[in-house]
Amino acid sequence: MKFFGKTEKAFFISRPNRFTITCTLNRKVVNAFLPNPGRLWELLLPGTPVYLEGVENPTRDLAFTAVAAERDGQRIVLHTLRANDVARHLVEEKAIPGIEEYRVIRNEVTVGHSRFDFLLKKGNRELLLEVKSCTLFSDRMAMFPDAVTSRGTRHLHELARMSDARSATAVLFLVHTARPDFFLPDFHTDFEFARAMADARERVLFLPVSVRWRRDLSIRPSEAKLLQVPWQVLEKELHDRGSYLLILRLPADNELSVGSLGPVRLRKGFYVYAGSAKRNLSRRIERHRRLGKKLFWHIDFLRAVSDFLVALPVRSEDDLECDMAGAMARIADWSPSGFGSSDCDCPSHLFGFENHPLSLRPFHDLLQHFRMERLVDKYALTR
């Protein structure tokens, strides 16, 4: 079944705000509405093909809606508003393992202060179904969410509370790629959501279902696949500790006096620092964000003269800091010697880049390796 009209291929340039992207279409620069609140960092890289649907109503500000992006030659649907149409179709086609016998009674169901996507029924038994659109994936693993969603966490708490003998509750994670076999809540990015999902495990049915989008943006329900949730990974890894990559921007060349390291010449550009915290990882990251603190670590001296761009936690029971530094060394443009590595044998834990690391595919591959792929190997996950 098709869910979209005719689309045109454009190329991503930038995302000036959450719901707008700028791209080139037939050599012209155009803006398009992006109906997706997620970060989409690893999908929307400069030059990425995106598929735009023309908007028929000309009173709308933007004449185009971005409905899909391309990754490795595959279409990945971005249109979260239409994910519900896809979900309804899959339910009606009995394509979702575990809820084949339910039928759709209503959509947009209000319960208490929250609205859920569907009310389904099987005989007298009701099922409240919430749909989440998932576009974050590596080769073998998909994760949700890609940004902190307190609304999503609240939904999980409410679904857990509402599940009882008469009515069941479920979350359908619609995974827009056929690649992965496994699904986990992204405990690196949204620790609270992951904890809520782990806590709700016995009360809420979690259904991560992947679909394969064809070139004409249609799917075949028979290809829908239920992904495995390896709960044992969460049991071991869901703690506020591990490693992180900190991205800073140094606005001008600088000669810094860095504590025990002495004077260090740093050229302007982007810097990635690999660090770790054996506990209170969130608090450690908050500390890096703050200015006006006592300068203690090497990185504090650089932070004092830089812009804080983002911190990317890699929660883990393992100490990955030096492995991550080693991997960064292979993709960085330069690396100031001895920075942040006085307690280990690494040449450095600081890496310089001409361009924003989040605009670079190798950087995302590295991050996804440590956040996702590594877990598949570590826990020897198999279908």
Chain residues in the site for Zn ion (CB under 5 A): 322, 325, 341, 344, 346
DSSP H stretches of helix in the chain = 83-92, 150-162, 191-199, 231-237, 281-289, 298-303, 321-331, 361-368, 374-378
Closer residue to Zn ion, CB minimum distance, 217 or 346: 346
Closer residue to Zn ion, CB minimum distance, 322 or 331: 322
Min separation Cβ 219 and Zn ion, Å: 45
Min separation Cβ 296 and Zn ion, Å: 18
Min separation Cβ 256 and Zn ion, Å: 20
Q: Which residue has the tokens 């990882």?
A: 281
- Enter the DSSP assignment of 372: I
CB within 8 Å of 148: residues ≥ 6 apart:
189, 190, 192, 193
Closer residue to Zn ion, CB minimum distance, 137 or 339: 339
Min separation Cβ 73 and Zn ion, Å: 37
Closer residue to Zn ion, CB minimum distance, 342 or 355: 342
Min separation Cβ 348 and Zn ion, Å: 8
Asked whether 79 and 33 are in contact (CB, 8 A), the reply is no
Closer residue to Zn ion, CB minimum distance, 346 or 350: 346
CA atoms of 147 and 348, how far apart (whole Å): 29
Min separation Cβ 354 and Zn ion, Å: 24
Q: Which residue has the tokens 């069941």?
A: 168
CA atoms of 269 and 253, how far apart (whole Å): 8
Distances (CA, A) of 174 to 54, 77, 122, 127, 227: 24, 10, 22, 17, 10
Closer residue to Zn ion, CB minimum distance, 29 or 344: 344
